[in-house]
Structure 1
Amino acid sequence: MADVFQVRIGVRGYELDVQGHVNQAVYIQYGEHARWRCFHAAGINTAVLMAAGFGPVVLETNVRYLKELRDGDEVDVTCQFHWGDGKTFRVEQDYTRADGAPVARLTSVCGLLDRETRRLLADPPARLREIVADPAMLGL
């Protein structure tokens, strides 16, 4: 398996709330950004997914906040996939400030949605293996 995928994101002033730290909804956006960057690194983009007739969906997300992110901070967001036997899989993402301080952990339950039937596909790892260029990026 490849090393855990990671992307660095710089906090922007418009992402702050009235407390002066990153708004809670932005953490979810950072996680989504990291997941898409991971998919791109694996060779999957929206054109590939459109041609395959399915795409990833998030069914549940939990965020555990540990420390603040403030204006000017940089945060490293990881992306690690955990595959099971059913229609869903788990993605764990750790957020670490550039100074090494753990900031948050986001855990999502995801699936692959058939664009035509609007149903979750069985065996997501097998379906992704059919279209991925670098399976190790997704822990496949």
Structure 2
Amino acid sequence: MEEPFSVRIEVRGYETDTQGHLNQAVYLQYAEHARWSILRRGGIEQQDLLARGVGPVALETNIRYLRELRAGDEMDVECVFEWSEGKVFRIRQTIRKTDGTVSAEVTAVGGLLDLSERKLLKDPREVFEELASDPSVFGL
């Protein structure tokens, strides 16, 4: 099996809380950064989506915090797309320290919004396949 896409991030001091742990809201920012990074890796830029008249939307996000992260820790944020029939897809993300310790698991449900109709597209896979230079990055 091919390794999942990942992006390396280092925890910055100002991202920590009063206990010295990574602030819980920053996990969402790391996950979002990784999702935009995988889009770019597959050849899809934000302006490509806007030119097509669509935008990605988060419909649900769940985070399981497993091990703390502190300033200076490096981690890889993995992204794996999971497709089903219909309007939505899942993105499973693992936030893993470089020593292999899993710090958090993020599961997001998303879709592609038609920006003029303000409705989810019936099959977001079609747009990913159309715009991507490498659809395999998205499991297509």
- Tell me the equivalent position of 1:40: 40
Distance in 2 between residues matched to 1:46 and 1:94, nearest whole Å: 23
Q: Deviations over 1:45-86 (max 9, x none)?
A: 111111111011100000000000001000110000000001
After TM superposition, which residue ranges in structure 1, 4 or more long, deviate above 4 angstroms? none
Report matched runs for 1:98-137 at 5 Å. 98-137=98-137
Q: Deviations over 1:12-63 (max 9, x none)?
A: 0110011110000000000000000000000101111111110111000000
The SS at the match of 1:127 is helix
Distance in 2 between residues matched to 1:66 and 1:34, nearest whole Å: 19
Distance in 2 between residues matched to 1:52 and 1:116, nearest whole Å: 11
TM-score (norm 2): 0.97
Q: CA deviation at 1:3?
A: 3.1
Distance in 2 between residues matched to 1:2 and 1:126, nearest whole Å: 23
Q: Deviations over 1:73-112 (max 9, x none)?
A: 0011000000000100000000111111110000000000
Percentage identity across paired residues of the two chains? 54
Is contact 1:55–1:115 with CA below 8 Å preserved after alignment?
A: yes
- Tell me the equivalent position of 2:55: 55
Q: Give the gaps of 5 or more residues in structure 2.
A: none
- Tell me the equivalent position of 1:96: 96
Superposed CA RMSD in Å reads: 1.0
Distance in 1 between residues matched to 2:58 and 2:86, nearest whole Å: 15
The SS at the match of 1:38 is helix
Q: Give the gaps of 5 or more residues in structure 1.
A: none
Distance in 2 between residues matched to 1:135 and 1:2, nearest whole Å: 14
- Tell me the equivalent position of 1:67: 67
The SS at the match of 2:120 is coil
